[in-house]
């Protein structure tokens, strides 16, 4: 297999997979049919799912970057070259371009 999503090559493609919208829809359906004693828990779950859905993709990518570099022991400045190196160490299939773009998300959206 070749191309951007190849397992043999570096990749510039980074996908953010989000299921919060589908989960929110399922919770709304359940809430419509819920018994009165089930409603408070479903309402709370729906509020949490909607809050998760409202978080922008760039913020999710920034959180992912910080998590990945922390997993390889990086504790320095996320805007540094060492942070890009740590990210590529954590995710060897990332191209330099993708790592730098993800780093920019992490810098733009601090924890």
Average pLDDT, the chain: 88
Between CA 24 and CA 46 the distance in angstroms is: 6
Residue 39's pLDDT is what? 96
Helix (H, G, I), strand (E, B) or coil at 49: helix
CB atoms near residue 91 (< 10 Å): 20
Residue 1's pLDDT is what? 26
Query: In the 8-state DSSP scheme, what is residue 2?
Result: -
Q: Looking at the DSSP assignment, which residues form a beta bridge with residue 94? A: 11
What b/e string do you get for 52-90 counting C-beta neighbours within 10 Å, with b at 16 or more? Answer: eeeeeeebbbbebbbebbeeeebeeebeeeebbebbbbb
pLDDT in tens, 4-58: 344 556 766 666 677 888 999 999 999 999 999 999 999 999 999 999 889 898 9
pLDDT band at 3 (very low <50, low <70, confident <90, very high): very low
Write down the residue that tokens 């922008």 correspond to. Answer: 56
Decide: residue 106, CB within 10 A, 0-12 exposed, 13-18 middle, 19+ buried: buried
Q: Does the pLDDT of residue 71 top 80, yes or no?
A: yes
Percent of the chain beyond pLDDT 70? 86
């Amino acid at each position: 297999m070749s191309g951007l999503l190849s397992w043999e090559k570096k990749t510039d493609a980074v996908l953010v997979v989000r299921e919060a919208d589908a989960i929110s829809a399922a919770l709304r359906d359940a809430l419509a049919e819920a018994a009165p004693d089930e409603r408070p828990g479903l309402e709370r779950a729906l509020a949490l799912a909607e809050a998760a859905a409202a978080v922008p993709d760039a913020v999710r990518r920034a959180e992912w970057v910080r998590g990945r570099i922390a997993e390889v022991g990086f504790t320095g400045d996320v805007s540094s070259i060492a942070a890009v190196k740590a990210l590529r160490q954590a995710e060897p299939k990332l191209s330099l371009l993708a790592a730098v773009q993800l780093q920019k998300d992490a810098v733009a959206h601090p924890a």
